[in-house]
Structure 1
Amino acid sequence: MDDHDLLRYSRHILLEEFGIDGQARVSAGHALIIGAGGLGSPAALYLAAAGVGRITLMDDDAVDLTNLQRQIAHADARVGQPKVESAAQAMRAINPRITVQALQARADEALLDEWVAQADVVLDCSDNFLTRQAVNAACVTHGKPLVAGAAIRFDGQLGVYDLRDPQAPCYACLFPREAQFEETRCAVMGVFAPVVGTMGTLQAHEALKLLAGIDGGLSGRLLMFDGRQSRFDTVRVARDAHCSVCGHRPAPTAAVGG
């Protein structure tokens, strides 16, 4: 870490829980972000600003005019561009010293298997149940911590599934993949713009703590945000021993918080 980095990240380094060692871990870390829309935009921008050394964005969509009300990584001049390229441009403008990889592709099983294996933390900023289940399954397979967010209308939720810990639940423990859920899309139901900003920022918050090795994360709890009342609530989430995804997973080799 040179003098430029010491100055740039000084406000993190001043934190007792973070320090130089935490910043060094962040700078050496690799975050994989699935989705470069409402949740992925603030998450990606904050991780870039914080100096996460390598950030990979995965999304197959293009910037649309209707996105600009809430997807703050994009701009009017970039309508029609791939979202990953638009977001990468914004991230590099904030922090040219980091490495940003833009993958314009749908997060299918094969691609997730390849890229989740390389990541230190995975942020699920997608907007559909099938993708969330696929991301979770890949994180279970590779023992990678997952930060999963969601937002619709005035409501948001956030879960951290630290799959390095054999006792931690996975996403499917709470939302079984064989269950039937009615998809709710922003295009149909609408979404209050700051709600996606709130949840995406909290995803960056939790991901940075995981990368820096800071205790006190959300693993084992689900955070729910009521934007109408500006109120947060949490509920405990236990691992399901009979979960069809993680019920028989072996203990991973990675050290928790390492």
Structure 2
Amino acid sequence: MPQDWNPQAYLNFATQRNRPALELLSHILHRPAQHITDLGCGAGNSTALLREVWQHAHITGVDNSPNMLAAARENLPSCEFIQQDFHDWCSDVPQDVIFANASLQWSPEPETLFSHIIEQLAPNGVLAIQMPDNLNEPSHRLMNEVAQLPQWRTTMQQVASRPNILKVHDSYDIFVKNHCRVDTWHTVYHHVLPDVASIAQMFASTALRPYLACLDETQQFEFQEIYIQKLQQYYPKQYDGQILLSLPRLFIVAEKVQAA
């Protein structure tokens, strides 16, 4: 089983991780809201953004990581935090805003999950989703390539890889069928990083976690070293010595409307 999430490692790249959360938030911040849930809240960096906008709302963060939730509770004592898988989460009160920043892409059953979450919305409530759409990027293709090397192939057979997110047209139809008005778009971020080792560090707390959790400390070091070597072929240094990490993301804002 993957080790629990590491809040400090995750927050080391808070600037990069907060950019899409801020963009998503900018599309809903004008809405009045008294009941808000942050699904997959992690260490609470996105929850903190919600608190800044809705200072008097009841805000609940939901996550399945004890370590992440401990960090979130310490940083945001005014918010409630619940340890639960978001597939099982049900709200006692209809929610005005449900925010899901870089979390729902882990679901193996997105159609069922999206429909379930919409049921938790109040009339005219909004579900705001942001998901990385980067499985075809070199940063992620190379993880699988390294995992298939002979020394790790057997060990990695049990690794649960992240599923592909739904195509835009398919996700749009799910929300419309569930009586939502939908706005959806793609954004590609080009994060400026000092070197390719920073890519490995950035994903060590997210996409690389399932691979590294199967290995001992020595093997983890070797895995990451090979991964970094392969990254160098795809992320050349820019004029200033930095590199650019392209990271596409899908955004969905779905407002629940009354059925005709």
Under a length normalisation based on structure 1, what TM-score does the superposition of the two structures give?
0.40
Under a length normalisation based on structure 2, what TM-score does the superposition of the two structures give?
0.39
- Relative to its length, the structure with more strand (as a share) is 2
Q: Greater relative contact order: 1 or 2 (C-alpha under 8 angstroms, separation 6 or more)?
A: 2
- Mark the structure with the bigger radius of gyration: 2
